Amino acid sequence: MISARTRLDRFISQHTSFSRRDVRLLLAQSRIEVDGVAVSDIQKIVHQFSQISVDGVSIQNNQPRYLMLNKPAGVVSATTDPQHKTVLDIIDAPFRNELHIAGRLDYNTTGLILLTNDGCWSRNLSLPENHIQKHYLVELENPVTAEYAELFAQGIYFEYEQITTAPAQLRVLSERMVELSITDGRYHQVKRMFGRFQNKVLVLHRYGVGNLQLGDLELGQYRELSAAEAGSIHRQD
């Protein structure tokens, strides 16, 4: 499997018994197909999900996979762990070992986890310049005042990293329950933001990332995303 973009002749010579000289001849005879189309360009670039065949025999036939999972508390955001159940342990699919996590949650935090085999897609999720929002429901120990929203909108300075968080949106639902939307993802960020007010987070649940929301997906359940859904996450409407 290709982990990055590479030239077609290089890929075939690395994954078959054909030399790069042989590949040039195969290309000239239109015996190589990429995504169902015969190619002859020696400079052709292919990637992880290019469908590649020689004389009708498949050399690479990977499919991009995008899943959302509603993580229960007590499950680790990891692919392997010697002591605890992981999010990957919940996935019952033959391709699960190809997946990695795109955006983690703490051990006791519940909600939306994204998994994929598409490294480019997951990297784009983490780029600060893409400003992809993560949406949380937060239950707090003490009542929330108007000062919270004002300070969160300005950004909160974290002395340890010497950074200021990006502006966050806070909406009060009840005395101790709020919706919070942030675009960065620092270590224990939500808990530390409320910690500025000495207000303990009792329950933290992520219900959305970008344009994706859990909807009626129950705790411990997962589903595959459509190509349209996977593409929409990078678009902020």
Within 13 Å, how many C-alpha atoms sit on residue 87's CB side?
Answer: 32
Cβ within 8 Å of residue 46, ≥6 positions away: 2, 5, 6, 7, 8, 11, 34, 52, 60
Q: Which residues are catalytic?
A: 106
**Buried/exposed code over 34-50 (b: 16+ C-beta within 10 A; e: otherwise):** beeeebeeeebebebbb
Query: Tokens for 83?
Result: 């002591």
Residue with tokens 């129950």, as numbered in its chain: 218
What is the C-alpha to C-alpha distance for residues 136 and 156, in angstroms, rounded to an integer?
17
Determine whether 117 is exposed, middle or buried from the number of CB atoms within 10 Å of its CB (0-12, 13-18, 19+).
Answer: buried
